[in-house]
Structure formats: C-alpha cells, structure tokens
C-alpha cells in the first residue's frame, strides 16, 4: 500500500521533537539518539516508505540471503583464520 509522502511529511513536520522521538521508537523499534528534528523527520519518512515497498518479514528476519552464505560450509571461518594467511604472520626473527 503506497503512502502519501507529502501528507506524511506535513504530519511529521508539525510534530514536536519529543513526539518525533516517540514515533521513531515505534517505527524503528529502538529509541532515537538524535534530537535533530529534520533528521528524525527524514528517517521516519524513509522507513515508512521502505515499509510500504517491501514486506517487513524479509527486513526483520535474521536469516542471511543465499548470496551472502558461503558456498562451502565453514569457508568463511577458514578465510578469517590467521593460518589461512601465513604471509600476514610476522616472522619469528623479525625483531633481530
């Protein structure tokens, strides 16, 4: 369901900073750290547009996409280990 961006922005700009911070918490699920009114208005409007475009279950799920999962199980852990990159380890006699 598309939202009327102009109407949403007008409604948000009429709100006080305290009201915007409360709305930010409702929309994002975490407290707002900013007290900047313009920033809060932009962030809330952006999130409302994003929520209207895509289903919330995809964004809220913590399951990675197929593109972000390694093709070989454990491959990401093997790449991150220092043993996989012996040239990055300092030689034992480097300080001499």
pLDDT per position as a tens digit, 1-55: 577 888 889 999 999 999 999 999 999 999 999 999 999 999 999 999 888 887 6
Per-residue model confidence (pLDDT) at position 66: 47
Q: What is the pTM of this model?
A: 0.55
What are the angstrom distances between the C-alpha of 2 and each of 12, 49, 50, 51, 54? Answer: 17, 8, 10, 9, 11
Per-residue model confidence (pLDDT) at position 11: 94
Q: Which residue has the higher pLDDT, 71 or 2?
A: 2
Mean pLDDT calculated for residue range 64-91: 51
Residue 38's closest CA among 61, 12, 57?
A: 12
Lowest mean pLDDT among 4-18, 49-63, 69-83: 69-83
């Amino acid at each position: 369901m598309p939202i009327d961006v102009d109407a949403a922005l007008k409604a948000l700009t009429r709100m006080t900073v305290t009201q915007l911070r409360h709305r930010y918490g409702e929309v994002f699920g975490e407290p707002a750290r900013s007290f900047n009114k313009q920033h809060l208005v932009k962030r809330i409007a952006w999130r409302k547009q994003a929520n209207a475009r895509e289903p919330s279950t995809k964004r809220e799920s913590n399951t990675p996409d197929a593109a972000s999962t390694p093709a070989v199980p454990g491959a990401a852990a093997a790449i991150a280990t220092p043993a996989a990159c012996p040239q990055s380890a300092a030689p034992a006699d480097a300080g001499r």
